[in-house]
Amino acid sequence: MKLFHLKSLRHQTDEQLMAQAAAGSDTAFEELYRRYARRLKGFFFMQLGGDEELAADATHDVFLRAYEARSRYREGSNVSTWLFTIAYNICKNHYRSNAYEAELLASLDAEPVSDQQIEVEMDAATLDAALEQVLAELPPPLHQIFSLHYQEELTVPQVAEIVGIPEGTVKSRLHKTMNIIRERLKVKELKS
C-alpha cells in the first residue's frame, strides 16, 4: 500500500505536494525533497565556491526552513520559486557575513550598460571549459542571477521575486553578465 502511495505522490504537482505537506504530510514533503535536493545542492555548490560540504549544509538548511515554514506556505505559490528564494537568502546571508555584497552591488548598479556583440568561436569542449572557469570567476550576485535564470531555467519574474529586486534590474544584470562572459571568453580565445 505504501508503494502505491509513493507512486501517486510522484504524479502530483509540486504545489499539490506542498499543500499536503502544509497539512502535515511528511511523505509529501519527502517527495519535494527528492525532487529538489540535487538541484539546490548544485546551485549552492556553484554559488558557494565549489565547497561540497557547505553546499550540503546549505541544502539541508533550505529544507529545514521550508519544513518549519510549511504551514505558512501560500497555496498556489510556485514551490520552486519559494525554495530558491530560501536558497538565495541563504547565499545572501553567507556573502553578507563576509561583508562583500553591499559594496559589489553598488558598483554593479552604477556601471552603464553596454551593448557589444562579440563573436566567440571555439570548439564545444574548449568553450564549456572556458565558460565554467568564467562563471566561477563572476561576482556572486551576478553568478546567482545567471544560475537561476540560465541553469535553473527560472523566468526573469521568478528570479526577481527570489532575489528581491525589480525585473528591470535582473535583466540589466543578466545583460552585464553576458557581456562579461563574452569579454572574458574573447580574451581566452585570443590567448589560445
CA dist 112 and 67 (Å) reads 42
The torsion angle over the Cα atoms of residues 167, 173, 175 and 176, rounded to 10 degrees, is: 160
Q: Given this model, what pLDDT does residue 36 score?
A: 93
Domain with residue 124: its CATH number is 1.10.10.10
Count of domains in the chain? Answer: 2
Q: Are 7 and 84 in a shared domain?
A: yes
Q: Are 14 and 68 in a shared domain?
A: yes
Q: Are 92 and 111 in a shared domain?
A: no
Where would I find the H helices in 25-78?
26-47, 52-68
Q: Given this model, what pLDDT does residue 112 score?
A: 55
Q: Are 59 and 111 in a shared domain?
A: no
* Whether the predicted model's global pTM rises above the 0.85 cut: no
Q: Tell me which of 50, 82, 97 is where a domain ends.
A: 97
Q: Are 151 and 181 in a shared domain?
A: yes
Q: Tell me which of 97, 123, 138 is where a domain ends.
A: 97
Domain with residue 17: its CATH number is 1.10.1740.10
CA dist 183 and 84 (Å) reads 29
In which domain, by residue range, is 118 found? Answer: 103-191
Q: Are 71 and 118 in a shared domain?
A: no
Tens digits of pLDDT across the chain (192 residues): 454 455 577 888 889 998 899 888 889 999 999 999 999 999 988 888 888 998 999 999 999 999 988 888 887 788 899 999 999 988 888 876 665 555 556 666 665 554 444 443 445 666 677 777 888 888 888 888 888 888 888 888 888 888 888 888 888 888 888 888 888 877 766 665
Q: Are 71 and 143 in a shared domain?
A: no
| Distance set, CA 141 to CA 98, 151, 176, 178 (Å) | 13, 15, 12, 14
Q: Are 56 and 135 in a shared domain?
A: no
Q: Are 109 and 135 in a shared domain?
A: yes
Q: Tell me which of 69, 97, 125 is where a domain ends.
A: 97
Q: Are 170 and 108 in a shared domain?
A: yes
Q: Are 109 and 90 in a shared domain?
A: no
Long-range CB contact pairs, 20-26, < 8 A, 24+: 21/67, 21/70, 21/73, 22/70, 22/71, 22/72, 22/73, 22/75
Q: Are 88 and 115 in a shared domain?
A: no
Q: Given this model, what pLDDT does residue 124 score?
A: 62
